[in-house]
Amino acid sequence: MEPRLASESFIVMNELVLPNDTNTFGNLMGGRLMYWMDIAGSISAAKHCNAPCMTASVDNLSFKNPIKLGNLVHIEAKMSRAFTTSMEIHIKVWGEDMLHQYHYESNEAYFTFVALDPNGKPRAVPQLKPETEEEVRLYEGALRRRQLRLILGGKMKPADASELKALFVPEG
């Protein structure tokens, strides 16, 4: 299987925040934004591996700025690293106030997806070939983020997290 470029998985999704998408403060509900981010991430992952994908995990989702009623939501998703059957997708979100004509950062997160075969079982995915400095930075950090996810999910013992240990334990 030939490695694929991160740029091949890049997608942009836009949504308009309508009254049904907001809470009582007129802000976009976090759950609605997560739903849209999940769709964007799934499309990006599917573009990378040419297969249906299922969400495996969502990293910390912290909001820097709320997105208001009537604003646009701009979501960008792109592969940051592929493992055996799973893929980490980096998702960035901005709000856009069209009336006052300005963009503002809302949040970013990492979503993990697993590629599925026709029987609904995990299948191998192509590796990722980063090109830009940012793609290389995200790629290099992905193994640490993956090990942290596996520890928090109870699927890895902290002592086995070699990439994380390297950050805290001096060689010797």
pLDDT in tens, 93-126: 999 999 999 999 999 999 999 999 999 999 999 9
Q: Residue 151 is which amino acid?
A: I
Least confident of 16-20, 31-35, 140-144: 140-144
Give the whole-angstrom CA distance, residue 11 versus residue 114: 18
Q: What is the share, in percent, of the chain residues with pLDDT greater than 90? A: 80
User: β-pairing, 4-5 with 128-129?
Assistant: parallel
pLDDT tens digit sequence for 63-82: 899 999 999 999 999 999 99
Side chain identity at residue 41, one-letter code? G
Could you tell me which of 110, 112, 113 has the C-alpha nearest to residue 93? 110
Check: pTM over 0.85? Answer yes or no: yes
Domain ranges of the chain: 4-131
pLDDT of residue 169: 61
CATH superfamily, region 4-131: Hotdog Thioesterase (3.10.129.10)
3-state class (DSSP) for residue 24: coil
Report how far residue 32's alpha carbon sits from residue 166's, in angstroms, rounded to the nearest whole number.
37
Tokens representing residue 100 in the block: 């006052």
pLDDT above 60: residue 90: yes
d(CA 129, CA 47): 14
Q: Calculate the CA 171 to chain-centre distance.
A: 32
